[in-house]
């Protein structure tokens, strides 16, 4: 089974592996300045589809297959993804690959921050990789759409986890027609998963488990994660899977979908105690 999280030291010792592909989801100017040797760049906007006012949708199968193939990646290869923001964009690639049947993918723990600050090798040249063939097969076991989330409300075996800020959760800041959160959702802001003393690595498992326990979320439940567009919440998805949660789903579109629907119930106000 492929490890979902790898350390910079591990990647540094495997840079020459022929079946390894490294995908950089940093901002373009960051990638142009320096990046992990051999990495190919993927602009985040190419990874998501839009149907305004809804953003952060999963591209259709053919578009996604063409995107991954264009990076020189085929189904038999292992992918290491990273970014410079703490893992959100890289985690969204991981979730998208899971959604299209590819599980040989890992997050570089600490991403570009750890790699740079800890003195690992960098390059500024762009490696041209020939196109490959990636076959995408939808795996909807990691996807929750509006209908699925609606049916999950008030079910004890299912938990909703909001990765947004407190202001978004309470409705004090509104980024859709309606402000607030999905009824029953608990909140674990994506940045609260990051250990700033360890170059933006994920916090240690015991720390994250304690956070989840405080929220009343345990591995026996199915957990649906969301944010505004399933960018930030993709990191929550990866963290939960890394911790051994077997049933985790991401909500593509997230609040940009739920919060713009007239038929969606909305809760607002403070977090439950």
Going by pLDDT thresholds of 50, 70 and 90, the confidence category of residue 273 is low
Q: Is 227 a catalytic residue?
A: yes
DSSP code, position 204: P
Q: Which domains does the chain have, with CATH numbers?
A: 5-139 (3.40.250.10), 143-258 (3.40.250.10)
Q: Per-residue pLDDT tens for 136-162? A: 999 999 999 999 999 999 899 999 999
Q: Per-residue pLDDT tens for 61-94? A: 999 999 999 999 999 999 999 999 999 999 999 9
The pLDDT > 90 percentage for the chain reads 94
Mean pLDDT of 104-110: 98
The predicted structure's pLDDT at residue 270: 79
The predicted structure's pLDDT at residue 269: 82
Q: How many CA atoms within 13 Å lie on the side-chain side of 76?
A: 5
Q: Per-residue pLDDT tens for 157-195? A: 999 999 999 999 999 999 999 999 999 999 999 999 999
Contacts of 207 (CB under 8 A, 6+ apart): 195
Q: Give burial (CB, 10 Å; 0-12/13-18/19+) of 185.
A: buried
In whole angstroms, give the CA distance from residue 220 to residue 143. Answer: 18
Q: What is the pTM of this model?
A: 0.97
Asked whether the predicted pLDDT for residue 1 surpasses 60, the reply is no
Asked whether the predicted pLDDT for residue 130 surpasses 60, the reply is yes
The predicted structure's pLDDT at residue 126: 86
Of 227, 239, 240, 264, the active-site residue reads 227
Q: Is 32 in a helix, a strand, or coil? A: helix
In whole angstroms, give the CA distance from residue 87 to residue 37. Answer: 19
DSSP code, position 86: S
Q: Per-residue pLDDT tens for 16-41? A: 999 999 999 999 999 999 999 999 99
**Start-to-end C-alpha separation, the chain:** 38
Among 254, 190, 252, 243, which residue's Cα sits nearest to residue 221? 243
The predicted structure's pLDDT at residue 2: 74
The pLDDT > 70 percentage for the chain reads 99
């Amino acid at each position: 089974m492929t490890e979902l999280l790898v350390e910079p030291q591990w990647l540094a010792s495997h840079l020459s592996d022929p079946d390894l592909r490294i995908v950089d989801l940093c901002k373009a100017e960051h990638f142009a300045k320096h990046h992990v040797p051999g990495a190919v760049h993927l602009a985040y906007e190419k990874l998501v589809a839009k149907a305004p006012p809804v953003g952060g949708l999963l591209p259709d199968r053919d578009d996604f297959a063409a995107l991954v193939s264009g990076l020189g990646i085929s189904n038999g290869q292992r992918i290491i993804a990273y970014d410079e923001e703490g893992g959100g964009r890289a985690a969204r690639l991981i979730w998208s690959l899971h959604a299209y049947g590819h599980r040989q993918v890992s997050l570089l723990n600490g991403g570009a921050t750890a790699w740079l600050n800890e003195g690992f090798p960098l390059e500024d040249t762009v490696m041209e990789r020939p196109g490959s063939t990636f076959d995408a097969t939808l795996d909807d076991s990691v996807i929750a759409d509006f209908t699925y989330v609606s049916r999950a409300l008030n079910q004890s075996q299912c938990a909703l986890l909001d990765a947004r800020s407190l202001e978004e959760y309470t409705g004090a800041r509104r980024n859709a027609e309606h402000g607030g959160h999905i009824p029953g959702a608990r909140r674990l802001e994506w940045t609260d998963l990051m250990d700033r003393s360890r170059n933006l690595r994920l916090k240690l498992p015991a720390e994250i488990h304690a956070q989840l326990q405080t929220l009343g979320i345990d591995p026996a439940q199915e957990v649906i994660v969301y944010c505004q567009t399933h960018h930030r919440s993709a990191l929550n998805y990866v963290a939960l899977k890394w911790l051994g949660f077997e049933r985790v789903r991401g909500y593509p579109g997230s609040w940009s979908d739920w919060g713009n629907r007239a038929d969606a119930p909305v809760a607002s106000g403070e977090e439950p105690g």
